[in-house]
Each structure stands twice: as structure tokens, then as C-alpha cells.
């Protein structure tokens, strides 16, 4: 079955460094991927998404890379700031046609940015 | 826009009590969802409503019921609360089915 996991449960970086958060998925039928940020006591916040027909997508200070060959995606955060400290989730979607499909969330990586 | 709002923020129930968690969105989204989040586990889908007038079970629907009251509102009901339902509950909505979901702030529920 589908599973989405993170290689590193915690990541500590210095302010100004670039951060890379990794995620692996198991179902090659997954065709849509999302990254969420969750700050303490808050709901997940959408960061960026990517479809399986793309390898890379850039947002503001964030880039998502997708490697379908090894079923891996990563979130890169440039010039990490203390406000980036949060739990980051990846999620993958296996489409179900007219039904919901299966959106599976990973457990999360805790990113801590030190000033 | 307030986005997705949830009430209450916190709730303590005794085993066997019932309650309804409320969710509303003001983004004119078509689809709405209820998730639970437990320590060490990712978000798990309880129920969803792909569009107004429809609801379907997700991954962990047992012990819950939902109502899509109108396009804006989607409520989650616990008929007879159990300690296993202690969790943080998140409501989400999306313009298109499944994609780019926006989450509410969550309801922290404790069942004793």
C-alpha cells in the first residue's frame, strides 16, 4: 500500500542556511504531491505542490524537487529564517478517478532554525 | 477572509458523551474534509465531502458522523465518545476535489 515517510525526523540549521527536507513515497501511481508547514498549535499551511509531470517547481524561497525514478521528493528552503521553524509534512495523492483518491500524509520533519 | 474556522478550540468529554465539532469556510470552496492528528502519526482522513450534498468515508470513519449543512459548513459528530478519539481534529477545504487543501486551526479533544 501507499506510504509516505521522511528520512529525517528532525533538522537543525543556522539562520541564513539553506534547508533540505526529504520525503519518500512508495506508490508509483502517485501523481500529485504537497508540502505543508505546521507551526505549534496551528493547522497545516499549504506551502507548495507539484504534479508528477514536473521535476521541479519554485515558489517564494522554496523549491520542490520530484524524482519519480526513486520515488523521492524534497523541499528546499533558501535563506532559512527563525520563522521557518515548524513541522513540515509531505503528502502524496494516488488518484481514484471520480472518487477521492488516497491522499497520504507523512509523519513530519521538525525544522529548528537557530539565530 | 477568515479562511477555515473551527469551534470549539478545546473540549473535554467523558466516555459516552456526544458532541459536534463545527467547521465553516468562507472561500467558496466546493470540497471539505475532516482529519484527525495523533502523536507520531500523520493526518488521517475521517470523512470528506467532495461537493455540497455529498459525504463519504475516509480512512478512519468509525465512531463519527458528518453533515454538510451547506456549501460553507461541514460538521463532525461523535455520538458516543471513547478515549481512543482523544486527538486533534482538523477541518480542511479545497476549491477542487482533493487538491490544495486549506486547514483550520484545529480542535483539541480529550475523552476521559
Interval B67-104: pLDDT, tens: 999 999 999 999 999 999 999 999 999 987 767 889 99
Chain segment A49-83, per-residue pLDDT in tens: 999 999 999 999 999 999 999 999 999 999 999 99
Interchain CB distance below 8 Å, A43 and B99? no
Largest CA distance in chain A: 47
Per cent of chain B over pLDDT 70 is 98
Average confidence (pLDDT) over A82-94: 92
Q: What pLDDT score was predicted for residue B2? A: 83
The pLDDT of residue A104 is 83
Interface of B with A in 9-48 (CB under 8 A): 40-45, 48
pLDDT band (50, 70, 90) for residue B59: confident
- Average pLDDT rounded to a whole number, residues A18-44: 92
Name the band, by pLDDT with cuts 50, 70 and 90, for residue A6.
Answer: very low
* Residue B8, preceding peptide bond in cis (omega within 30° of 0): yes
Task: List the 77-96 stretch of B: residues with Cβ below 8 A of A.
Answer: 90, 92
* Residues of chain B contacting A49 with CB distance shorter than 8 Å: 99-100
Question: For chain A, where are the E strands, in sequence order?
Answer: 4-5, 10-14, 19-25, 32-38, 45-51, 56-58, 62-67, 72-77, 86-96, 99-105, 109-114
What CA–CA distances, in Å, run from B11 to A43, A68, B16, B25? 17, 43, 14, 21
Note the pLDDT of residue B60.
94
* Contact residues on chain A for B104, CB-CB shorter than 8 A: 43
Determine how β-strand A10-14 pairs with β-strand A109-114. parallel
- Supply the pLDDT for residue B42: 79
Amino acid at each position: 500500500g501507499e506510504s509516505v515517510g521522511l528520512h529525517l525526523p528532525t533538522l537543525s540549521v543556522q539562520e541564513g542556511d539553506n534547508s533540505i527536507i526529504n520525503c519518500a513515497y512508495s506508490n508509483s501511481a502517485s501523481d500529485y504531491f504537497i508540502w505543508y508547514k505546521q507551526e505549534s498549535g496551528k493547522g497545516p499551511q499549504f506551502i507548495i505542490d507539484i504534479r508528477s509531470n514536473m521535476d521541479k517547481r519554485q515558489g517564494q524561497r522554496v523549491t520542490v524537487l520530484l524524482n519519480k525514478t526513486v520515488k523521492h521528493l524534497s523541499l528546499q528552503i533558501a535563506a532559512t529564517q527563525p520563522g521557518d521553524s515548524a513541522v513540515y509534512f509531505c503528502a502524496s495523492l494516488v488518484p481514484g478517478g471520480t472518487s477521492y483518491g488516497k491522499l497520504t500524509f507523512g509523519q513530519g520533519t521538525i525544522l529548528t532554525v537557530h539565530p | 477572509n477568515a479562511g477555515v474556522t473551527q469551534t470549539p478550540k478545546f473540549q473535554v468529554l467523558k466516555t459516552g458523551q456526544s458532541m459536534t465539532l463545527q467547521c465553516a469556510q468562507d472561500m467558496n470552496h466546493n470540497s471539505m474534509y475532516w482529519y484527525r492528528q495523533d502523536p507520531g502519526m500523520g493526518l488521517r482522513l475521517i470523512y470528506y465531502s467532495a461537493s455540497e450534498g455529498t459525504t463519504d468515508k475516509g480512512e478512519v470513519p468509525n465512531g463519527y458522523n458528518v453533515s454538510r449543512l451547506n456549501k460553507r459548513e461541514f460538521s463532525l459528530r461523535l455520538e458516543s465518545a471513547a478515549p481512543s478519539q482523544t486527538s486533534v481534529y482538523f477541518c480542511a477545504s479545497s476549491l477542487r476535489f482533493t487538491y490544495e487543501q486549506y486547514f483550520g486551526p484545529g480542535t483539541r479533544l480529550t475523552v476521559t
